[in-house]
Amino acid sequence: MAGVMQKFILASMIMWVAPMAILYGFNHHIIPGSGQLSSSSQTLLSGFLAVISVNLVIVFYIIMAMKEPANRESQPDPAFLAEAKASINQSATTTSNPDAQSRDKVE
């Protein structure tokens, strides 16, 4: 379970950082060739690449999730099972003995 949460947190952080880094790189001309573009082209290209980066992170997250072993079945808590079985057995004995219920009623 901890591995799943770590993957989720990592993917969430990358989904936030990647588009911001792309937008920052285009706005501050860190990415080569971005200074030669017009302002509107720069905005459109940086926005398009930011959206693509988020979609790539989502695809990689889905691939990682698909590679998780599917045969890991969680087992219920043994204490809970014991209590549930005792409760079922207790209710079964009270419903099978109708005289016990009629003795409790006083009219």
Q: Tokens 């302002």 appear where? A: 39
Pull the structure tokens for residue 77. Answer: 């808590």
Residues 31-77: pLDDT tens digits? 888 788 888 888 899 999 999 999 999 999 999 888 877 666 677 78
Pull the structure tokens for residue 17. Answer: 């950082």
Q: What pLDDT, on the 0 to 100 scale, is given for residue 97?
A: 58
Residue type, 106: V
d(CA 40, CA 30): 17
Confidence of residue 19 (pLDDT cuts 50, 70, 90): very high
The reported pTM is: 0.59
96 pLDDT exceeds 70? no
Q: What is the CA radius of gyration of the chain?
A: 30
